[in-house]
Amino acid sequence: MLKLLKCSVSAIILSSVLLGGALAGEVKSIAILTPEEGTDYGWNQQGIDAAKAAGKAAGVEVVVAQGLGYGDVRPTLRELASDGASLLIAHASGYNTSAPEIAKELKVPVAIVDTPNGLEKGLVADYTLSGHQG
């Protein structure tokens, strides 16, 4: 029950931050990119579960790109953007350089983690999630 509550709270926060006024255009789909599979009972799963819950709450499609590792994710970011994702959630600090680069290149908003100094209005949002054992 505690896990469900934490996931729901994370989803509400993620939904309001990422799908709110900064991205006022019509959002039809979002994508989340994670370095590991979303079944790790940790960071990756928390992010994917929250993105799915936020997407459901906002009525948008959620595309999950998981198990990407920590290499160059620029091609995946470009592919997801060209497939119509209106927001790319780069759910790893290792993506905090490449995701903003792609946001500027393709004019598709991204969300990066734990980098409040990387904010760019309308292009780069920042969020922080934390997993805790209940």
Question: Residues 74-102: pLDDT tens digits?
Answer: 999 999 999 999 999 999 999 999 999 99
Alpha carbons within 13 angstroms on the beta-carbon side of residue 74 total: 9
Domains along the sequence of the chain with CATH: 2-127 (3.40.50.2300)
Question: Which DSSP string corresponds to the chain?
Answer: -HHHHHHHHHHHHHHHHHSSGGG-SPP-EEEEE-SS-TTSSSHHHHHHHHHHHHHHHHT-EEEEE---TTS--HHHHHHHHHTT-SEEEE-SGGGTTHHHHHHHHHT--EEEES-GGG-BTTTEEEE-------
Strand partners, 110: 88, 124
* Average pLDDT value for the chain: 86
Higher pLDDT, 89 or 19: 89
pTM: 0.81
Lowest mean pLDDT among 8-17, 20-29, 48-57: 8-17
